[in-house]
Amino acid sequence: MTIMRHDTDAVRVLKGLGDGRSSVRLRTALAASTTPDPRFVDKLVERGAIEPEFFVRDMLTWALTRHPVSVTLPALLREVRSERAQARSQALHTLSKIGDGRAWPAITRTLLSDADDEVARSAWRAAVVLVPEGEEPELAAVLATQLGRGERETRLSLSRALVALGEVIVPALRDATTAPDPRTRTHALATQRLLRDPDAGFEFAVEEAKRVVALGGSGREGR
pTM: 0.88
Q: Is residue 196 part of a domain?
A: yes
Q: Is residue 169 part of a domain?
A: yes
Q: Is residue 185 part of a domain?
A: yes
Q: Is residue 105 part of a domain?
A: no
pLDDT of the chain, 223 residues: tens digit per residue: 344 345 666 777 888 999 999 999 999 999 999 989 999 999 999 999 999 999 999 999 999 999 999 999 999 999 999 999 999 999 999 999 999 999 999 999 999 999 999 999 999 999 999 999 999 999 999 999 999 999 999 999 999 999 999 999 999 999 999 999 999 999 999 999 999 888 777 777 778 887 888 777 555 543 4
State the residue range of the domain holding 177.
147-217
Decide: 170 and 209 in contact? Cβ < 8 Å.
no
- Say how far apart CA 195 and CA 10 lie, in whole Å: 48
Domain total in the chain: 1
- Say how far apart CA 57 and CA 44 lie, in whole Å: 9
- Say how far apart CA 103 and CA 100 lie, in whole Å: 6
- Residue of 127, 177, 125, 175 whose CA lies nearest to 153: 125
Q: Is residue 125 part of a domain?
A: no
- Residue of 167, 119, 124 whose CA lies nearest to 142: 124
